[in-house]
Chains A and B, each alone.
Chain A
Amino acid sequence: MGTIGIEWVNKFHGRASDLKNNDDNARGFYNTLSGVRRFEYGDDLAWDRDFEQSGVGSPSAGTDQLYADNVDIVFFSGHGSRSGAFFGIADKDDGEAKPGELRLGNLDCEWVIFDACLVLERDNLNVFNRLGGAFAGLHYMLGFDTTCGDSGDRGRKFAERLNSGWSVRDAWIRACTETEGSDTNWAYLRADAAGTNTFDDHWHGKGFVSADPVSPTSRFYLRGAC
């Protein structure tokens, strides 16, 4: 049985305009997906360092070994940009889980979802340089190539499909298509290594789950219109 963590932010204290639905969105995922609910942190308790590798970046206050990399699947809902997931407070690190500070999967995490604008922007193929280093056993990073809406139920729809045995990639693409217009692009980045097949990943207990691509030899980026 898999373990689940969520973080969400609606209140940004003037760092950006506030959002409305990220609590509902992330909790819909958390309360629907079959598994062990390991943590939920919202608003001022959601911190960028929870996603960052200890000792990496500047500031180097990462504690992902306690949070994002200590569960099988972690779902973030809030603002984002190609500079990373954006948080409401900046006093725990710098308020942004920057791509260069992410190293996921060296402990536990297989799938991370950034339900936020542009974190997975293709950016003329720079997505590989920007996010490729985050894969240290991580199977997938799922999110958007473009901006996206402030959905209150995408997380629940995604979890329902995972529970029903859809593959992780199909579940995400379908949850996005059901909640966005066709101007929005879903996207994912995944890794493979010798002996792994993350393409066919399912949620734990619902189908095939690949071994971890600890030292990735290939990375795959896919995007399409919702």
Chain B
Amino acid sequence: MNELFKLPERLPKPPGKIAMFRATRFASMSSRDATYTKNLAQRLRAAQRTFGLEGTPATEGARLVLRSEQVSLELYAASDSLWWTDHRLACQERVTSREQLPDEGKAKKLAAALLEQYGLDAKMASVASVTFIEADVQSGDSKPRTTRTAVDVNYRFRLGEHPAMGPGAKIKVTLASEGAPAQIVYFWRSPTKAAAATVISATTALERFMRDPAFFHLRNKDASVTVKDVTFGYYAMSPTDFQRLYVPVWAIDATSQTRELRYDFRRYVVAVDMTPEDAKRADAVANPRACRLF
């Protein structure tokens, strides 16, 4: 089995005891829970004031959605997340204005100012990348024309000294021509410290990774799995999902190679020894079944 895997020569030291972080302060997210429903109503009123959208929201699954003709505001019931979009400007294929997009430095400044203006707490976040929404248009068989239609300022959060990972911990501020705000994606759960826990070593995490049945059918002579990086962090689930605790994880970045397919992937190994039963008893996440390796 081990011949299949190529591991990095050096592994990060385990952080030892780490703080756990609660991701919600509510015992229940039932509509019968007065504390929760009051808080959700307050969040809704605050968001309506901030973004200037009136009316009664539609319920779409785990989201409350307000729409005007061109603007939408989504409030996520299971987390402290929201998504505001001006659909005239976000994710467009053409640029209507002759003005240019802000450069990277200006985009960062504008994004920070917008977050402050809208009262979105970014103290635990920092800019991780500035990227572009790129549209390529091909007429007939001609050479495609490329246009950058918006710029995304992408933030990542940290919990203490460690990064928050996964889809539920990020901010994206999208700016269109002239720096016009096009979109704010704010996915986060306000954390509070919980009891400390001991973290398994990176070596133990890799042993668990190598025992993953996903690799059982890979034949050694044809196949390899090369681990490129191992990083400790806290996993944040999708903003639509209930999560009581940020999950401490070792994130393993690897490349799988067979004769037929080579691909890069990331796998998370839960970094505290908690069985799915423990996770259920702690009410840590909505579905603890996958709470060892995912």
Contacts and interface: CB of A to CB of B under 8 A. Distances in A.
Interface string A149-164: 1100100010011001
A221 B60 contact: no
Interface stretch (A52-60, A68-76, A171-179): A171-179
A175 B170 CA distance: 15
B111 interface: no
B134 A224 contact: yes
Given A149-B266, A181-B170, A15 B136 contact: no
A224 B258 contact: no
Interface centre among A19, A127, A181 (most CB of B within 10 A): A181
Given A12-B217, A149-B266, A222 B140 contact: no
Contact of B167 (A15, A128, A223, A226): A226
B172 A15 contact: no
Contacts of A118: 263
Interface stretch (B11-19, B219-227, B270-278): B219-227
Contact of B218 (A17, A179, A226): A17
A73 B294 CA distance: 29
B65 to A, nearest CB: 8
Contact of A16 (B172, B260, B266): B260
Contact of A15 (B60, B139, B261): B261
Contacts of B218: 14, 17
Contact of A181 (B61, B167, B216): B167
A224 B167 contact: no
A182 interface: yes
Contacts, number: 141
Contacts of A14: 217-219, 222-223, 258
B177 interface: no
B146 interface: yes
B91 A178 contact: no
Interface in A190-226: 199, 217-226
Chain B facing A: main interface SS? strand
Interface residues of A, number: 52
How many residues of B sit at the interface, in one of the four size bands?
35 or more
Interface in B57-99: 58, 60-61, 65, 83, 87, 91, 93
Contacts of A224: 91, 131-134, 150, 152
Given A147-B265, A160-B61, A17 B214 contact: yes
Contacts of A139: none
B239 interface: yes
A170 B154 CA distance: 19
Interface string A26-44: 0000000000000000000
B138 A128 contact: yes
A103 interface: no
A117 B214 contact: no
A79 B128 CA distance: 28
A189 to B, nearest CB: 9
Contacts of B167: 177-181, 226
B213 interface: yes
Interface string B244-265: 0000000000001010111111
Contacts of A117: 263-264
The 3 closest A-B pairs by CB, nearest first: A224-B133, A182-B154, A14-B217
Interface of B: 58, 60-61, 65, 83, 87, 91, 93, 128-129, 131-140, 144, 146, 150, 152, 154, 156, 165-167, 170, 172, 185, 187, 213-219, 222-223, 225, 238-240, 256, 258, 260-266, 290, 294
Interface of A: 11-20, 79, 81, 86, 90, 95-96, 117-118, 122, 125, 127-128, 132, 147, 149-150, 153, 157, 160-161, 164, 169-170, 173-174, 177-182, 199, 217-226
